Amino acid sequence: MKTNKAFENLKALSLELDTLMNESDAHIGAIDNLCNSILNEIDLIKINSTSEYVLLTKKQAKAYIKKAKVEIKKYNQVGLRSNGNFMDVLKPAQAGVKIILNLDY
């Protein structure tokens, strides 16, 4: 089933995201790539797609991932790099993937 595979992939992506805690240009690029992969996996989840809870959870998770992508663009602007700004990238990405993984029970 695609949904089970999507959750397996999301768990792996979450673990990979958790390894990117140190600020670096390479990690920012990796987080951006992971965000794209996470968004793709979220789209593959088809659990009771008419359930309001599932739809809302998917929407909320996507919003967090998209927020991380916006923060990546801000971070990449010259002069905005600081540890606080790096966490502005990392935390929404982590929150988004954790939210969607709560559906896998």
Domains and CATH numbers, the chain: 2-101 (1.20.120)
**Biggest CA pair distance of the chain:** 46
The predicted model scores a pTM of: 0.88
Cα separations (Å) of 78 from 72, 73, 75, 81?
12, 10, 8, 7
* 77 or 70, higher pLDDT: 70
- The pLDDT of residue 32 is 96
Mean pLDDT, range 62-68, rounded to an integer: 97
Whether residue 84 is predicted with pLDDT greater than 70 in this model: the reply is no
Q: Which of 10-24, 60-74, 78-92 has the lowest mean pLDDT?
A: 78-92
Whether residue 11 is predicted with pLDDT greater than 90 in this model: the reply is yes
Average pLDDT, the chain: 88
- List the one residue out of 10, 33, 5 whose CA is nearest residue 20: 33
**The tokens of 36 are what?**
């794209």
